[in-house]
Amino acid sequence: MSAVVLGIETSCDETGVGVVIGRDLAANVLSTSIEEQARFGGVVPEVASRAHVDAIGPVIDEACAVAGVSLRDIDAIAVTAGPGLVGSLLVGVSAAKGLAAGLGVDVYGVNHLAAHVAVDELQHGELPDPLIALLVSGGHSSLLLMSGSKVEPLGSTLDDAAGEAFDKVARLIGLPFPGGPHIDRAAELGRPDAVAFPRALAHDPDHRYDFSFSGLKTAVSRVVREQRIDPADVAASFQEAVADVLTRKAIAACRDHGVDHLVLGGGVAANSRLRALAQDRADAAGIHLRVPRADLCTDNGAMVAALGARLIRQQAAPTEPGFPATSTFDVHRVLIGD
């Protein structure tokens, strides 16, 4: 019998609950406070926590209904224990612990970042081993070498995360929060070669796998202030610079380590130009690229359930029930307390 795993994600402003049966996605329900957050131009932690409190019960019920399972059918629960906003995380962690205790099932407190990679199994089957993961979200940009159960961080951003850069640049050109999807759409009408924005650390041997986006953001703000370039051209040129640096370094990491599988994950992996350029460059280098479909890249509950299901298949020990929610979570650890 395939295990029925409930996954709960409340690390930021989305209340996500997914159900995975075996390796199959059975439900992925999302409630978001993004419209409330957009009024403030960013995520306000207290607003996010309150929205999670309201949404968590109904979203769990709906996910079970969509999957056609009752609470009693659940074999295990996985929940994001970090990284993220502690007040938000606590809502999901408390719900998961209470439900697990009530149902008498195991609970896995997992790393949100590892879930962004594991979600790809729902679409493309078992993850290859070894692989290079390019993890790009609102809070993180990392290149990881994953081999067996080992996760080796190769590099990360020295300043802003890739998603943060999208959100800040969107604000500069007058687009709403969260900026990534809006820049993606605006860029469709712009010229990616209109402005030659800087590619920071592109050729720095001391930072071969690291990123830096704050200089790019400053360069965009200078161009916007001059008001001579069409905003769509600014969006397209900015997006091109980010996609160029991310894919160049990801392919270099694969080549240097003799790894021929690259997996993209995190909200920025939903970006259409990043996906296309990664495909072109992976094809040219003979590397197999895997990118989850866009709605699985941005935060959701199915990714947490997918990681839970993977841990169960690997016979990982469940988490001790007293585990905390944590704002920081080392990128190389998958389960809290490991």
Binding residues vs ligand KG4 (CB under 6 A): 12, 137-139, 163, 166-167, 178-181, 184, 266-268, 270-271, 298-299
Q: Which of residues 107-146 bind Zn ion (CB under 5 A)?
A: 137
Element (H, E) at 165: helix 162-172
Q: In whole angstroms, what is the distance from residue 78 CA to residue 303 CA?
A: 10
Give which of Zn ion, ligand KG4, none residue 163 binds (C-beta under 5 to 8 Å, depending on kind): ligand KG4
Burial class (CB in 10 A: 0-12, 13-18, 19+), 242: buried
Residue 64 or 119 with smaller CB distance to Zn ion: 119
Among 21, 299, 303, 312, binds Zn ion (CB under 5 A): 299
Query: Kindly report the CA angle at 89 between 309 and 77, in degrees rounded to 5?
Result: 25
State the nearest-atom distance from the C-beta of 134 to ligand KG4, in Å.
Answer: 13
Residue 11 or 237 with smaller CB distance to Zn ion: 11
State the nearest-atom distance from the C-beta of 162 to ligand KG4, in Å.
Answer: 7
With beta carbons less than 8 A apart as the criterion, state whether 220 and 169 touch.
yes
Amino acid at position 254, single letter: C
Q: Which of residues 261-280 bind Zn ion (CB under 5 A)?
A: none
**Stretch of 208-216, 225-233, 297-305, 308-316 lying at the interface with Zn ion (CB under 5 A):** 297-305
Residue 142 or 319 with smaller CB distance to ligand KG4: 142
Q: Which two tokens stand for residue 131?
A: 């692989």
Q: In whole angstroms, what is the distance from residue 145 CA to residue 151 CA?
A: 6
Q: Residue 18: beta bridge partners?
A: 7, 28
State the nearest-atom distance from the C-beta of 172 to Zn ion, in Å.
Answer: 23
Residue 64 or 216 with smaller CB distance to ligand KG4: 216
Query: Kindly report the CA angle at 87 between 85 and 91, in degrees rounded to 5?
Result: 110
Residue 4 or 161 with smaller CB distance to Zn ion: 161
- Ramachandran bin of 3, using left for φ above 0, alpha for ψ from -120 to 50, beta for the remaining angles: beta
Residue 163 or 190 with smaller CB distance to ligand KG4: 163
Q: Which two tokens stand for residue 234?
A: 């600014």
**Stretch of 141-149, 158-166, 207-215, 298-306 lying at the interface with Zn ion (CB under 5 A):** 298-306
Residue 12 or 20 with smaller CB distance to ligand KG4: 12
With beta carbons less than 8 A apart as the criterion, state whether 12 and 299 touch.
yes
Distance of CA 260 to the CA centre of its chain: 22
State the nearest-atom distance from the C-beta of 40 to Zn ion, in Å.
Answer: 20
State the nearest-atom distance from the C-beta of 116 to ligand KG4, in Å.
Answer: 6
Binding site for Zn ion (CB under 5 A): 137, 299
